[in-house]
């Protein structure tokens, strides 16, 4: 049978004669009840919903009066009653079901209007206790919703005020609901209860992980759903390519600063690729302690720099590779001021997006009126200060693969370099040490095999995504050109052979930073000694696939 086939026992149009309402969010309640009552629909309601309707003058029956069973356990049990669930779950086409209702004095319920206890809002409050959170786990609400969703052949279910308008339009025309509507509402209801349960699960897991009780032996759970239920933020124009559909979902309780909490101040809609690049730019510049900027193309930094002020940092980042920087994504870790905006708007330069903690009014004026690309540039404000070592997301870093999902901890540049070791006779000079630390931060943001060349806090050349590390060295040194003389080089993983350092030395590189760990490390160390280069071993790899 086709997934869209409607069984003969399912009526297309089902009149609404009786509705049950149990709402924590009473937005739109009076308008909804007015339309229902206007067509003679009998209204049942619980607790606060009943009071709101009664106070507004509606003829409404309280659920406890309807069932003959008062609410008990402080309101924990009020809708969990056969008269309620029998009325929802009875199959109208089955004579046995309908005779049970008749013999029991139960009435069919055609519409369920429920939104769940505000668990999400409760746990978002500072200082919320375990007991307060647990009390906001809804029991009756999900039971009503799932019962109505299961019996969608005969029952419509509304779980959010944003569904009321479409429902009321159909109800005004027909006095009921069509099967296509009930199927759509059923899907939305199941999604909502699934999201609700996932949200509770994620919160409880987080509490247990931070509790003083011993942690479970397994680092990963035997089954897994995303750490936080995700909400649709926007449908994108397309994905990585125009023939791919795409959408952007966000974690509803994310604290930021990140893309989900950022504010788009100007420009065209962000694309799928824009979002990927903006996220990478943000994750790079937040690791700089002083003023820093980067330029990304295709998810790799082609420019990055630190300086005494953000204007100079941007200029040096752009000039690191101005050919690649054209049409790039820019990230800064300081507010974009007028001086920085003037440099961004230099004739001949073109930027797709700029993400920053904020923009001064003068900078906004320049970037939205002065350059020729003023109408197309996207300006994204984080509305928050960026500090190094902060902002690592909670939960897992996860990626879809065909047939499953891969989970891992988030990668982060090590904040403490005390474990780094000098592997050569000559330690790096003070200036080389500064550049090696800078290059290591940038290298972590580059696709593997990753090689970066840097000098004086400026990225001069990047070798990214090559199948051979040697090719990445050659590309990075070629990009740097003559500027490689006296520069340093960072590698995200060990050198399998000494040929990489040999090529770097020939280009003028004077110091290298890498994790180490190759069987041929000694050959690599020997090459550096022969060339008079210093080498630092971090002991930590930063692959980025």
In the set 150, 183, 268, 374, the catalytic residue is 150
Q: Measured between alpha carbons, how far is 343 from 2 in angstroms, rounded to an integer?
A: 60
Q: Which residues pair with 355 in a beta bridge?
A: 331, 380
H-run or E-run covering 422 = strand 421-422
Task: Tell how strand 176-178 and strand 156-158 pair up.
Answer: unpaired
Angular region, 57: left φ>0, alpha ψ -120 to 50, beta rest:
left
Secondary structure of 274-310 in HEC code, one letter for each residue: HHHHHHHHHHHHCCCCCCEEEEEECCEEEEEEECCCH
In the set 183, 266, 268, 298, the catalytic residue is 298
Tell me which residue has tokens 């013999």. Answer: 103
What are the structure tokens assigned to 249, written together? 């979902």
Q: Measured between alpha carbons, how far is 483 from 111 in angstroms, rounded to an integer?
A: 73
Helix locations, 151-251, DSSP H = 164-174, 179-209
Q: Measured between alpha carbons, how far is 158 from 164 in angstroms, rounded to an integer?
A: 7
Tell me which residue has tokens 């009435």. Answer: 107
H-run or E-run covering 399 = strand 397-401
H-run or E-run covering 368 = helix 361-369
Q: Measured between alpha carbons, how far is 436 from 534 in angstroms, rounded to an integer?
A: 10
Q: Measured between alpha carbons, how far is 327 from 332 in angstroms, rounded to an integer?
A: 16
3-class DSSP assignment, residue 359: strand
The answer to whether 4 is a known catalytic residue is no
Are the beta carbons of 153 and 179 closer than 8 angstroms?
yes
What are the structure tokens assigned to 207, written together? 């509490």
Q: Measured between alpha carbons, how far is 478 from 487 in angstroms, rounded to an integer?
A: 13
3-class DSSP assignment, residue 534: strand
Are the beta carbons of 328 and 302 closer than 8 angstroms?
yes
Q: Measured between alpha carbons, how far is 23 from 427 in angstroms, rounded to an integer?
A: 68
Phi/psi for 199 (5° steps) reads -65, -45
Q: Measured between alpha carbons, how far is 437 from 525 in angstroms, rounded to an integer?
A: 19
Tell me which residue has tokens 């409050």. Answer: 125
The DSSP secondary-structure symbol of 75 reads G
Q: Measured between alpha carbons, how far is 492 from 274 in angstroms, rounded to an integer?
A: 25
Are the beta carbons of 53 and 46 closer than 8 angstroms?
no
The answer to whether 298 is a known catalytic residue is yes
Q: Which active-site residues does the annotation give?
A: 150, 298
């Amino acid at each position: 049978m086709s997934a869209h086939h409607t069984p003969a026992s399912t009526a297309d149009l089902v009149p609404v004669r009786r509705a049950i309402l149990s709402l924590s969010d009473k937005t739109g309640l009076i308008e909804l009840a007015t339309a229902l009552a206007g067509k003679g629909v009998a209204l049942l309601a619980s607790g606060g919903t009943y009071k709101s309707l009664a106070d507004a003058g509606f003829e409404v029956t309280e659920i406890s009066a309807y069932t003959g069973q008062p609410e008990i356990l402080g309101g924990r049990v009020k809708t969990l009653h056969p008269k309620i669930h029998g009325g929802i779950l009875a199959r109208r086409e089955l004579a046995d079901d309908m005779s049970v209702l008749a013999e029991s004095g139960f009435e069919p319920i055609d519409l369920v209007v429920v939104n769940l206890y505000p668990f999400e809002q409760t746990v978002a409050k500072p200082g919320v206790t375990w007991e307060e959170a647990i009390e906001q786990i809804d029991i009756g609400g999900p039971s009503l919703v799932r019962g109505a969703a299961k019996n969608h052949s005969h029952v419509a279910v509304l779980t959010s005020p944003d569904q009321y308008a479409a429902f009321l339009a159909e109800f005004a025309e027909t006095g009921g609901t069509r099967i296509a509507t009930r199927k759509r509402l059923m899907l939305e209801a199941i999604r909502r209860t699934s999201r609700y349960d996932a949200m509770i699960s994620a919160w409880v897991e987080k509490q247990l992980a931070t509790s003083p009780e011993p942690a479970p032996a397994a680092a990963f759970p035997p089954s897994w759903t995303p750490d936080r239920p995700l909400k649709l933020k926007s449908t994108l124009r397309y994905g990585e390519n125009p023939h791919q559909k795409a959408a952007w979902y966000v974690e509803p309780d994310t604290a930021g600063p990140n893309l989900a909490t950022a504010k788009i101040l100007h420009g065209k809609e962000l694309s799928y690729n824009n979002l990927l690049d903006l996220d990478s730019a943000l994750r790079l510049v937040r690791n700089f302690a002083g003023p820093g900027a980067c330029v990304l193309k295709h998810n790799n930094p082609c420019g990055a720099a630190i300086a005494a002020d953000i204007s100079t940092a941007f200029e040096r980042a752009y000039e690191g590779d101005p050919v690649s920087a054209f049409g790039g994504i820019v990230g800064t870790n300081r507010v974009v001021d007028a001086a920085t905006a003037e440099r961004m708007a230099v004739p001949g330069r073109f930027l797709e997006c700029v993400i920053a903690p904020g923009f001064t009014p003068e900078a906004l004026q320049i970037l939205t009126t002065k350059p020729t690309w003023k109408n197309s540039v996207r300006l994204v404000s984080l509305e928050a200060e960026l500090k190094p070592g902060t902002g690592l997301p909670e939960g897992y870093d996860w990626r879809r693969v065909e047939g499953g999902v891969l989970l891992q901890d988030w990668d982060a540049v090590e904040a403490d370099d005390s474990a780094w070791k000098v592997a050569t006779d000559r330690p790096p000079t003070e200036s080389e040490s500064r550049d090696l630390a800078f290059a290591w931060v940038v290298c972590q943001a580059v696709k593997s095999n990753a090689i970066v060349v840097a000098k004086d806090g400026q990225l001069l050349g990047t070798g990214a995504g090559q199948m051979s590390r040697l090719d990445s060295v050659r590309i990075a040194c070629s990009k740097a050109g003559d500027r490689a003389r006296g520069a340093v080089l960072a590698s995200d993983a060990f050198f399998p052979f000494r040929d990489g350092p040999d090529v770097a030395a020939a280009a003028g590189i004077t110091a290298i930073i890498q994790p180490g760990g190759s069987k041929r490390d000694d050959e690599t160390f020997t090459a550096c000694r022969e060339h008079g280069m210093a080498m630092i071993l971090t002991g930590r790899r930063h692959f980025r696939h």
